[in-house]
Amino acid sequence: MTVTHTLHVPGAHLHYELRGTARFVPDIAALTVAPTRVVVGVGADSGGLVTYRTSVALAELLGTPPVEFPGDHGGFLGQPEKFAEALRRTLTV
């Protein structure tokens, strides 16, 4: 069975997507001394999700507040105009 075929199997994404990210540990020291500003974004409607909680934790480790964007984890798909507006505001600060 190919990856394309297994993606239609419930839970297959856990094998192909989650496995690659579950053990990832960001290099906080490198991120805090980066020559650019690191912004951690979270979806306003995704407070109960693991992605929200891990993003908030990352922002805390970086000593910066997370920036909330409209929508959920994929807010850019459901509310692209509002997301783009919030992104422009964030990047021009």
Instruction: Decide if 53 is inside a domain.
Output: yes
Instruction: Decide if 43 is inside a domain.
Output: yes
Q: In this predicted model, what pLDDT tens digit does every residue of 42-51 receive, in sequence order?
A: 999 998 888 8
Judge whether residue 87 has pLDDT over 70. Answer: yes
Q: Give how many domains the chain has, as a whole number.
A: 1
Instruction: Decide if 16 is inside a domain.
Output: no
Q: In this predicted model, what pLDDT tens digit does every residue of 4-58 receive, in sequence order?
A: 555 567 767 666 667 667 778 999 999 999 999 999 999 999 988 888 999 999 9
What band does 69 get if pLDDT is binned at 50, 70 and 90? very high
Label each residue of the chain as H, E or C. CCHHHHCCCCCHHHHHHHHHHCCCCCCHHHHHCCCCCCCCEEECCCCCCHHHHHHHHHHHHHCCCCEEECCCCCHHHHCHHHHHHHHHHHHCC
Q: Please state the length of the chain.
A: 93
Report the pLDDT value the prediction gives residue 4, as an integer from 0 to 100. 52
What does pTM read for this prediction?
Answer: 0.75
CB atoms under 10 Å from CB of 58, counted, come to: 17
Instruction: Decide if 9 is inside a domain.
Output: no
Instruction: Decide if 46 is inside a domain.
Output: yes
Report the pLDDT value the prediction gives residue 48, as an integer from 0 to 100. 83
Query: What residues make up the domain containing 47?
Result: 26-91
- For the record, the structure tokens of 81 come out as 């105009």
Instruction: Decide if 86 is inside a domain.
Output: yes
What band does 70 get if pLDDT is binned at 50, 70 and 90? very high
Instruction: Decide if 42 is inside a domain.
Output: yes
- Rounded Cα–Cα distance for residues 90 and 92 (Å): 6
Instruction: Decide if 19 is inside a domain.
Output: no
